[in-house]
Structure 1
């Protein structure tokens, strides 16, 4: 079964503009075009590939690196090691992002508690000196270990 660009936009959540941009940037060489009309014809396999592209983009991978990954896929099995390395490296990037987000979440949680106490007391002076991370602060490596 094939899908039009509009249907793919609806199914994937990727705008038509972005799908066309991806094509222009060389991210979708796997998408065939109708010989008569020149329109893109997406398959279920193409939708799956687009979901991987969306995933990588969502982790902050630059489009040029995603394009390299796509090219490796197009080049076949002789690039399996490169693709594995790419995903292993990106996993580390995501783990670091999660760690940073968890550190920020801890700080935000602490500030929420700080301001709850200040609101309850009617003044920030009542909680002065308690602005450091709380005693029950969980070390980052423990939080990451729980995720993995």
Structure 2
């Protein structure tokens, strides 16, 4: 099946201008055009577009994605390069996930903190609490000298 830029964009949940930009930046070397120059996306192109979308969402630069796509187009001689690119991006995503987990932990702590303060009617409730009175998994966020956060 052949898709227009709008149809392909809709399937990927991106704007048509995003796909046009990717094409302009050389990320779609596989893309065919009609005799009148209209971009034609085939079913097999969609997996390439999903890979590009994945790499973009993981924070890879357009330049990095272009390099990866160029390696793919070169064929089997670049398998080692592609493996290294994917491994590096995977490591980056793992680090991003760890950072996001730390942010989520802090937000969970703050939700607990303010819910506890709300229930008590004041943030000063923490002034009389010993560090041991805080849930163990939130103690790392507590500055014993200043419990009013």
Which residue pairs with 1:136 in the alignment? 137
Q: Aligned to 1:38, what secondary structure does the other structure show? A: coil
Partner of 2:52: 53
What is the CA distance between 1:49 and its match in structure 2?
0.3
Deviation at 1:2, TM superposition (A): 1.5
Q: Which consecutive unaligned segments of at least 5 residues does structure 2 have?
A: 141-149
**Equivalent residues, number:** 136
How far apart, in 1, do the equivalents of 2:111 and 2:24 lie?
Answer: 46
| Larger Rg over CA atoms | 2
- The 5-angstrom pairing of residues 1-148 of structure 1 reads 1-34=1-34, 36-128=35-127, 134-136=135-137
Gaps of 5+ in 1: 140-148
- Cα RMSD of the aligned pairs, angstroms, is 1.8
TM-score scaled by length of structure 2 = 0.85
Paired residue secondary structure (1:10): helix
Question: How far apart, in 1, do the equivalents of 2:127 and 2:76 lie?
Answer: 62
* Residues 110, 134 of structure 1: 8 Å contact kept: no
Is the alpha carbon distance of 1:134 and 1:99 closer, same or farther for their aligned partners in structure 2, counting shifts above 3 Å?
Answer: farther
Deviation per residue, 1:57-114 (Å, 9 max, x gap) = 0000111000000000111110011001101011110000000000111111111111
